[in-house]
Every structure is written in C-alpha cells, then in structure tokens.
C-alpha cells in the first residue's frame, strides 16, 4: 500500500499546482511558453547536431575517406581542391587537334 500513498500525494501536489496556475494566468502563460520554447530550441539544436556530426556517413567504408586539399601561399591556409585538379595527375589533359604549344595554362584542367 506504500505506492498508493505516494500516488495520492502526487495527485494532491498536481491539483495544488493547477490551482496556483489558475489564480495567476499570466504566469501560467509565460511558464508554459518558456518550457515550449526551451524544448523546441533543444530539439532543433540537437537535431542539427545529429544531422551534421552524429549521423553515420552514407558511404560503405567511412573510415577509408580522406580529405584531399592543396596549400596556397598563405601561412598555413588550406583550401579544398576542385575535382578536375584532383583527377589531373591520373589523366593529364589532352591537346585538341590543330592546337600548338604546351597544351594549356597552369590551372587549365579542361578535357579536350
């Protein structure tokens, strides 16, 4: 019977809280709005955190992924590498028919 007395006390506390909130409706609105805003903000923040950091990557072997980047003249700055520059060492660009010269300027990764 011990749980029965605990449940009765909980019901009495709940009724008392409702009576206090009914006596001061402005406080009730502010309290409920604050709770709703806090719960919504936490849901949005952790939803974004999950989407960016915690969700598993949609690839077969995520531990084998690598970042390919280049270093530019700035001290310690890194920039992402465009895809044509990444594939350039594997397949150098070809010259089109009738062109003369070295085949392009630095940074020209077009496929002819």
Please give the pLDDT value at position 32. 93
Separation of alpha carbons 82 and 46, rounded Å? 32
Averages of pLDDT over runs of 10 residues in the chain (112 residues) are 81 93 92 96 94 82 71 62 65 52 48 47
The answer to whether residues 39 and 30 touch, using CB atoms and an 8 Å cutoff, is: no
Please give the pLDDT value at position 66. 73
Residue 17 has which token pair? 């809280």
Domain residue spans in the chain? 2-54
> Secondary structure of the chain: what % helix, strand, coil (to 5)?
55, 5, 40
Sign of CA dihedral 81, 84, 85, 87: positive
Please give the pLDDT value at position 104. 47
Whole-prediction pTM value? 0.44
The answer to whether residues 103 and 93 touch, using CB atoms and an 8 Å cutoff, is: yes
């Amino acid at each position: 019977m011990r749980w029965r007395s605990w449940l009765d006390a909980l019901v009495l506390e709940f009724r008392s809280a409702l009576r206090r909130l009914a006596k001061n409706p402005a406080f009730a609105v502010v309290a409920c709005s604050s709770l709703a805003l806090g719960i919504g903000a936490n849901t949005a923040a952790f939803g974004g955190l999950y989407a960016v950091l915690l969700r598993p990557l949609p690839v077969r072997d995520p531990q084998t992924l690598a970042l390919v980047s280049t270093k530019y003249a700035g001290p310690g700055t890194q920039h992402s590498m465009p895809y044509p520059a990444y594939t350039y060492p594997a397949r150098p660009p070809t010259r089109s028919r009738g062109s003369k010269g070295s085949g392009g300027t630095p940074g020209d990764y077009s496929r002819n």
